[in-house]
Structures are given as C-alpha cells and as structure tokens.
C-alpha cells in the first residue's frame, strides 16, 4: 500500500448538494449563514491545497493507517517531532471535510424539500439526487486522470458522492433515526475498524492485517490501496456526518424563520458545539478509545491537536464538528442582527455559492502556477504557500462572481450541477 503524493491530497466540495441555483430573495437571505460557512472553509481549503502544491515542508501525518511510500512502514511514527508552523497550517484546514459533508446533508435536505413543495415526486427526487451523485463521482474520476498518478484516487468527492447515493434510501428515515444512526457510527466505528483491521505496527501481525482489506473494505471502512484504487476517505465515516447535517436541515425547515426559531437554533448549535469539544478533549486526555490508533505522544499543545483524519477518529469528528457549530452560531447571529440583506458580493458568500467551480479552478491555478514559477510541485516554503493561496483567492473572486451570474441566468441548464 502506498500513499499518493501530496498534490493528490485534496479536499473536495459539497457544492453538488447546494440548493436551487436561483433562490428567491427570502431563501437567499435565510441561507446566507450556511453559504458564509461554506465559503469560509473554501478559503481554508485553498490554504491546504496551496501547501500541497507549493510547500516543501508540508506536514500531513494525520493517520495511523497510511503507509510511507518510501519505507513501506507507517507514515506516522510515534515520537516524531512536528514543526509547529507547518502543523498548524495543516491543522486549521481539518475543519473543511467535516463541514463539507455536514453542509451537504443540510443543503440537500432543504433543497429536496423545496422541490417536493413545487410538486416533485419521490421518484424525481431520487433521480435528482442520483444524478448529482454521479456528477460528483464523475468529477473525481476526471481529477484522477488529470493527476497522472496511474491509480484511482478516491477522496472527499468520492465520500460525498457515495454518501449521496446512500441517502437515496436513508432520506426516508425519520429525523431522529438519521440523528441516532449518524451518532452511533461516529461513536462505534473505531470498534469495528480497529477490530477488523488493526493499524500497521499495532500488535502482532498488524502489518499483514493492514494489507488484507478488500476493495470493498477500503471503500467503506479503512483507507489504503486495493485493486488499483487508493481510498483516502472510506465512505461510512463521512456518511455519518452527512446524516447529522441532513437532520439539521430538517430542523431548520421545521422551525421556520421566526426570531424565536433562529435563537433556538443558535442555542442548539452552541450547546452541541461546546459539548462536542468537551467530549473530544476528554477522550484525547484519556488517550485510548476514540483516537483510531493515533494516540498522544505527550501533553504538548501539538499532540492534543494531532488527531486521526484518515479515517476520522471520534475525537477528530467531535472536535471539528464542534468548531463548525460554533462558527455557524457566529454567522447566524451576525446574519440575524445585520440591517438589510447580506451583501451579494461578500467573498465568503460568493465562494460558498460557487464552490465546485471554485474548487476545480483553484487546483488548476495552484498547480499551474507552482510548476510555472518554481519548476515543480512542493518547491517552496510557508511564506510562498500563503501568498499562493491569497493570490488564488484574489484571481478567482471575479471569475466566481461571473459564473454565479451565469448560473442564475440559466437555472435549469447543466450548470445547476456545477
């Protein structure tokens, strides 16, 4: 099993679950906080991918399961020192993937309900969800071809698309069942994964066990290489986050837009966010179950935050979803208290409403500029990395503005899937 080069280590975008591309004024206002949140993590994603294309000292040791392609041993060796600046540049972007999956569920729940309100049948809703999922999975395949790695790379786009396919059936469950199912898998997935597939280097025979998972096991449970595919985002862990987001979307629809309902939602998010953070830190202090094999080496600040993302440990999921909830509270309160409608040209709003378009272009800009300026990938340091991210955001902002306008002029065209 080998780990793909950092240039392939990319977050993807949950834009395929965005609501109707031409929302009414009321809908646009109500969803502004969600778009701001999505846009915010898009900016963070640009930093991560600038690091993946520009940063020679990039740190991405987020797993006890991935192997070092050079040695064949574990990519993370306990006791290895983590550079603080490099680690934090990577760590701040951990918010991206959980937010993408959660907001995918939220936006899909609201989008499909609006379609149902316009008279869409259940069959047409299934078809719409199926097409969106296929588009996302197709884009993942295109990106694999463009990467030139000679292996099928299945990352966040795969996790989103596969989760959407699962939601064709799961969306029929009641809200409480969706919530309980998502929480149960987040809490219990480590027991399943580590029992069936111990991390490399943990216990006798672990190395052979790590090489044993079938392609199906890779697709669903444990990251790694199998049958010509490298799966970095096994679907079930990320599906759990989409389930939680779907339940939240139903909550927003059920509560409505009254002032009291908005305050109730903010209180719910605040309680959920703080509780998630506290439980995550408790489990991290305990340093046993909940860490997916990536335990703390010591009590240092970096080690407290060095959590398993591949696959997502319970401590990681709770911490990042908790942070997301607190950011959402801030965005919701700002939207509720602002005078007038949100500014349509707000960069976070623009990036949040053109996420998939931005994602595709920003990779081309970052990769192309790195090769053109430095002669290759990952040839510079952190300063150049941050400058590349800022430059990419500046270049793509007017382009995304234009694309959003085009999309709204043609709401029923193929652009609705982009």
d(CA 418, CA 401): 14
Render each residue's pLDDT in the chain as its tens digit; 418 residues: 444 444 434 443 433 333 433 444 334 445 899 999 999 999 999 999 999 999 999 998 899 999 887 777 888 999 999 999 999 999 999 999 999 999 999 999 999 998 998 999 999 999 999 999 998 999 889 888 887 778 999 999 999 999 999 999 999 999 999 999 999 999 999 999 999 999 986 443 444 444 569 999 999 999 999 999 999 999 999 999 999 999 999 999 999 888 999 999 999 999 999 999 999 999 999 999 999 999 999 999 999 999 999 999 999 999 999 999 999 999 999 999 888 888 999 999 999 999 988 988 898 899 999 999 999 999 999 999 999 999 999 999 999 999 999 999 988 888 877 7
308, 292 Cβ separation under 8 angstroms: yes
Phi-psi region of 414 (alpha: psi -120 to 50; beta: other; left: phi over 0): alpha
Residue 292 in tokens: 């997916």
3-state percent helix, strand, coil for the chain, nearest multiple of 5: 65, 5, 30
pTM: 0.90
Give CA 287 to chain center in angstroms. Answer: 25
Residue ranges of alpha helices (H) inside 65-151 are 84-91, 96-117, 122-147
How far apart CA 278 and CA 204 sit, in angstroms, is: 34
pLDDT at 1: 41
Burial 385-407 (b: 16+ CB within 10 A, else e): bbebbeebbeebeeebbebbeeb
| Tokens, residue 72 | 């064949």
pLDDT for the residue 210: 45
pLDDT at 211: 52
């Amino acid at each position: 099993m080998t780990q793909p080069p950092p240039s392939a280590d990319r977050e993807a975008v949950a834009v395929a679950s965005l609501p109707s591309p031409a929302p009414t004024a009321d809908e646009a206002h109500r969803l502004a906080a969600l778009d701001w949140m999505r846009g915010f993590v898009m900016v963070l994603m640009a930093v991560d991918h600038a690091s993946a294309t520009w940063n020679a000292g990039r740190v991405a040791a987020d797993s006890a399961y991935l192997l070092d392609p050079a040695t064949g041993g574990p990519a993370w060796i306990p006791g290895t020192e983590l550079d603080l600046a490099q680690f934090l540049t990577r760590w701040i972007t951990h918010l991206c993937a959980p937010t993408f999956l959660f907001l995918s569920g939220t936006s899909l729940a609201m989008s499909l309900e609006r379609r149902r309100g316009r008279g869409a049948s259940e069959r047409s809703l299934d078809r719409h969800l199926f097409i969106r999922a296929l588009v996302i999975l197709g884009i993942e395949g295109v990106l694999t071809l463009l990467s030139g790695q000679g292996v099928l790379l299945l990352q966040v786009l795969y996790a989103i698309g596969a989760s959407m396919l699962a939601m064709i059936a799961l969306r029929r469950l009641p809200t409480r069942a969706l919530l309980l199912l998502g929480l149960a898998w987040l809490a219990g997935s480590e027991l399943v994964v580590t029992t069936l597939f111990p991390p490399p280097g943990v216990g006798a025979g672990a190395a052979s066990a790590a090489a044993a998972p079938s392609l199906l096991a890779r697709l669903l449970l444990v990251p790694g290489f199998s049958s010509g595919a490298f799966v970095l985002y096994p679907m079930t862990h990320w599906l759990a986050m989409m389930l939680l987001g779907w339940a939240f979307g139903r909550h927003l629809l059920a509560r409505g837009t009254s002032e009291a309902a908005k305050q109730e939602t903010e209180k719910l998010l605040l309680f959920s966010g703080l509780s998630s953070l506290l439980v995550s830190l408790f489990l991290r202090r305990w340093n046993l179950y909940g860490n997916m094999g990536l335990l703390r080496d010591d009590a240092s600040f970096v080690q407290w935050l060095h959590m398993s993302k591949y696959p997502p440990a319970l401590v990681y999921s709770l911490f990042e979803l908790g942070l997301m909830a607190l950011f959402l509270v801030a965005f919701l309160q700002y939207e509720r208290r602002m005078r007038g409608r949100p500014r349509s040209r707000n960069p976070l709003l623009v990036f949040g409403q053109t996420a998939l378009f931005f994602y595709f272009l920003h990779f081309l800009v970052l990769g192309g500029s790195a090769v053109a300026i430095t002669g290759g990938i990952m040839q510079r340091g952190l300063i150049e990395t941050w400058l590349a991210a800022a430059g990419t955001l500046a270049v793509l902002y007017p382009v995304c503005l234009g694309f959003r306008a085009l999309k709204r002029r043609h709401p029923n065209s193929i652009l609705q899937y982009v």
